Amino acid sequence: MTRIALDASGGDFAPTNPVLGALSALEVLPESCEIVLIGPRAEVEAELRSQGEPPDRISVVDAPETIGMAEKPLSAVRSKKRSSIVLGLSMHKAGDVDAFISAGNTGAVMAASTLLLGLTDGVERPAIGAILPSVPDPVLLLDAGANVDCSAEELLGFAYLGAVYARDVLRRPAPRVGLLNIGEESEKGNAVAKEAHQLFRRSDHFTFAGNVEGSDILVNKCDVIACDGFVGNIVLKFYESTGRIFADLLKREVDPAILSGPGMGRVLRFLDYSEYGGAPLLGVRGISIICHGRSSPAAIKNAIRVAMQSVDSHLTQHIRDEFAEGGAVA
Amino acid sequence: MTRIALDASGGDFAPTNPVLGALSALEVLPESCEIVLIGPRAEVEAELRSQGEPPDRISVVDAPETIGMAEKPLSAVRSKKRSSIVLGLSMHKAGDVDAFISAGNTGAVMAASTLLLGLTDGVERPAIGAILPSVPDPVLLLDAGANVDCSAEELLGFAYLGAVYARDVLRRPAPRVGLLNIGEESEKGNAVAKEAHQLFRRSDHFTFAGNVEGSDILVNKCDVIACDGFVGNIVLKFYESTGRIFADLLKREVDPAILSGPGMGRVLRFLDYSEYGGAPLLGVRGISIICHGRSSPAAIKNAIRVAMQSVDSHLTQHIRDEFAEGGAVA
């Protein structure tokens, strides 16, 4: 039996989108999977009932407090013990659930995951992994915003975390890891990138694909791209905006109805990284998945699917093993 | 009389594209503008003659040596005194021409510009300004790759350079300058960004638009965006690739002929930043414009137009004044 906790009060469209996402996930997931919705009981149950008789495999845990999207993460986590984020991660820590998913305050999910679950031995900092579309398969970029000033050793840690995730969840048996940089040559980049290049080159935990430039991110040059959270966050948010801008341009310059035309659904899905199911917070002792605040029911459903895969593949155990093997990171 | 030197041996399509770009620029530029093509004389003259009788306002200066795209910049500049890059910038230094444009080896143009023209007093490092599309007007991002490890003071210097360029060439009388960061709040970002935020806030040389996130780059939140050359270069190259990927997706998923359909030309032009005429190297004592190696004749023509505007608006003088006023940068 796998139990996934889902924050039903986090995100811009709670509890509706979490509830809809959970219901549609249960239609496709195996019978052994249960979902625990965590949020203000009356509201969540009303939303559930509005969709018909709730299935047996869904339950509700009451979380009367709410952490707002703009609240200071650390103080909110410390003061709101009965919030969905704190309750859900406490249940995960206690072994009552196997994973936690939230579209709520990203900083609060990160802080609570680190405080409550703790870090994997050997991990200096947890990293947010963002899945970006790439032809033919998506690429994992990390860190996407958890850490802004990183050492070369920390970047190597991100490479390890990403390689394990790529093997377990993205199904890449021999992941190629690239280092985000401004040129292919080893001497290119800022001081940290130059040092990281040497560490990556010497590592035998993954196949080093070399430096990857901005133009290489979406072209399947590798399975995992390591970078600090400052540049990673900027690239991720920039990417999101380009999809919207392309769509607006097409509507304005070509045809207001173009986005509903044939084939366009596939283009828009390709550009929409929420399709890939949330961003894992890697390096904590458990499965914690952060969704975009604007997540659709389909995005929530995909995040639940990714959480299931993470549990089934023993991701947490594999990350522990990776860092235990001779102290992966210098 | 304004004389623009154009590197006719730099770039992937030399001398054809520089020659074609120069010829089409002369059709629209005022009679007072002359273009000096610098490259291997026989080749350049043959290309010119293949287009008909060359106009009076175009001349050729022989540069028998070529700096390849992959050569080490500094040693190439030092050893190849008769290359188009070294000759063109030497002519600019001597006052024989008013500006220099090249689609050749970017590092070599930067190195030669810095060595031969020298830096403006008070400028610590020159910056490459990249013009990105934004609705309704393009935005200037700098530094786009000249400097990878930057201090907060250097970022402030980029803000000054960008503000002058925006006033003189982009015609923004009161430029809004943003600081590229991972959140709007002043305490967000890495150590340098946090410090730079305070410097920007205290400056009275420009209107500070606050921190801008990756998602704000293309949405007209400001006229100028300051960042270090590591993140700037990654964003610029990533941007280039998204346009290509988007176009490929449309062809594959919607209609192989879609790119030639009505209105699509405007979309593709919007996405193609070469339309905006090359990247100025700012902070050197002169006008030096770097074009993409793959520049089309239209891109070269636009770079010539931008060089003319830079000369006519007295950009070099205005940058000198900006940094002279009470030592702009701390």
A139-191 pLDDT per residue, tens? 999 999 999 999 999 999 999 999 999 999 999 999 999 999 999 999 999 99
CATH for the stretch B1-119+283-313 = 3.40.718.10
Tell me the chain A residues in contact with residue B241 when contact means C-beta distances shorter than 8 Å. Answer: 214-219
Tens of pLDDT, residues A274-310: 677 799 999 999 999 999 998 999 999 999 999 999 9
pLDDT tens, N- to C-terminus, chain B (330 residues): 999 999 999 889 999 999 999 999 999 999 999 999 999 999 999 999 999 999 999 999 999 999 999 899 999 999 999 999 999 999 999 999 999 999 999 999 999 999 999 999 999 899 999 999 887 889 999 999 999 999 999 999 999 999 999 999 999 999 999 999 999 999 999 999 999 999 999 999 999 999 999 999 999 899 999 999 999 999 999 998 888 888 888 888 888 888 888 788 888 877 776 677 799 999 999 999 999 998 999 999 999 999 999 999 999 999 999 999 755 454
Tell me the chain B residues in contact with residue A230 when contact means C-beta distances shorter than 8 Å. Answer: 182, 189-190, 193, 231
Tell me the chain A residues in contact with residue B180 when contact means C-beta distances shorter than 8 Å. Answer: 234
Q: Which two tokens stand for residue A320?
A: 């522990």
Of B231, B263, B270, the CB nearest to A234: B231
| CATH topology for the A1-123+283-313 domain | Isopropylmalate Dehydrogenase (3.40.718)
Cα-based distances in Å from A77 to A148, A199, B251, B291: 21, 36, 48, 50
What is the nearest CA distance from A206 to chain B, expressed in angstroms?
Answer: 24
Tell me the chain B residues in contact with residue A254 when contact means C-beta distances shorter than 8 Å. Answer: 261-264, 267
Contact A254 B240 (CB under 8 A): no
Contact A240 B193 (CB under 8 A): no
Of B145, B238, B270, the CB nearest to A235: B238
Q: Would you say how long chain A is, in residues?
A: 330
Please tell me which residue of chain A has the smallest CA distance to B144: A182
B118 touches chain A (CB under 8 A): no
State how far the Cα of B288 lies from the Cα of B110, in Å rounded to an integer: 8
SS3 A302: helix
Please tell me which residue of chain A has the smallest CA distance to B212: A234
pLDDT tens, N- to C-terminus, chain A (330 residues): 999 999 999 889 999 999 999 999 999 999 999 999 999 999 999 999 999 999 999 999 999 999 998 899 999 999 999 999 999 999 999 999 999 999 999 999 999 999 999 999 999 899 999 999 887 889 999 999 999 999 999 999 999 999 999 999 999 999 999 999 999 999 999 999 999 999 999 999 999 999 999 999 999 899 999 999 999 999 999 998 888 888 888 888 888 888 888 788 888 877 776 677 799 999 999 999 999 998 999 999 999 999 999 999 999 999 999 999 755 454
Cβ contact A258:A176 at 8 Å: no
- The segment(s) of chain B belonging to CATH 3.40.718.10 are 1-119+283-313, 124-276
For helices A152-168 and A191-202, angle between their N-to-C axes, nearest 10 degrees:
50
State how far the Cα of B111 lies from the Cα of B117, in Å rounded to an integer: 10
B136 touches chain A (CB under 8 A): no
> Please, what's the b/e burial string for B266-301 (b: 16 or more CB within 10 A of its CB; e: otherwise)?
ebbebbbbbbbbbbbbbbbbbbbbbbbbebbbbbbb
Contact A234 B182 (CB under 8 A): yes
A260 touches chain B (CB under 8 A): no
Tell me the chain B residues in contact with residue A270 when contact means C-beta distances shorter than 8 Å. Answer: 249, 253
Planar angle of CA B60, B63, B69, nearest 5 degrees = 115
- The segment(s) of chain A belonging to CATH 3.40.718.10 are 1-123+283-313, 124-275
Instruction: Report A:11-40 residues touching B (Cβ under 8 A).
Output: none
Q: Report pLDDT for B326.
A: 52
Q: Report pLDDT for B242.
A: 87
B69 touches chain A (CB under 8 A): no
A180 touches chain B (CB under 8 A): yes
Candidates B245, B270, B272, partner chain A, best to mutate (most A CBs within 10 A): B245
Tell me the chain A residues in contact with residue B181 when contact means C-beta distances shorter than 8 Å. Answer: 234
Closest C-alpha to A307, from A281, A283, A327, A326: A281
Say which CATH superfamily domain A124-275 falls into. Isopropylmalate Dehydrogenase (3.40.718.10)
CATH for the stretch B124-276 = 3.40.718.10
For helices A315-324 and A297-312, angle between their N-to-C axes, nearest 10 degrees:
50
Q: What ipTM was reported for this prediction?
A: 0.92
Instruction: Report B:211-250 residues touching A (Cβ under 8 A).
Output: 213-219, 228-231, 233-242, 245-246, 248-250
What is the nearest CA distance from A95 to chain B, expressed in angstroms?
Answer: 34
- Global pTM? 0.93
Candidates B246, B264, B272, B275, partner chain A, best to mutate (most A CBs within 10 A): B246
A69 touches chain B (CB under 8 A): no
Strand partners, B102: B290
Q: Report pLDDT for B330.
A: 44
Q: Which two tokens stand for residue A209?
A: 């694909």
What is the nearest CA distance from A59 to chain B, expressed in angstroms?
Answer: 36
Omega of the bond prior to B143 within 30 degrees of 0, cis? yes
A330 touches chain B (CB under 8 A): no
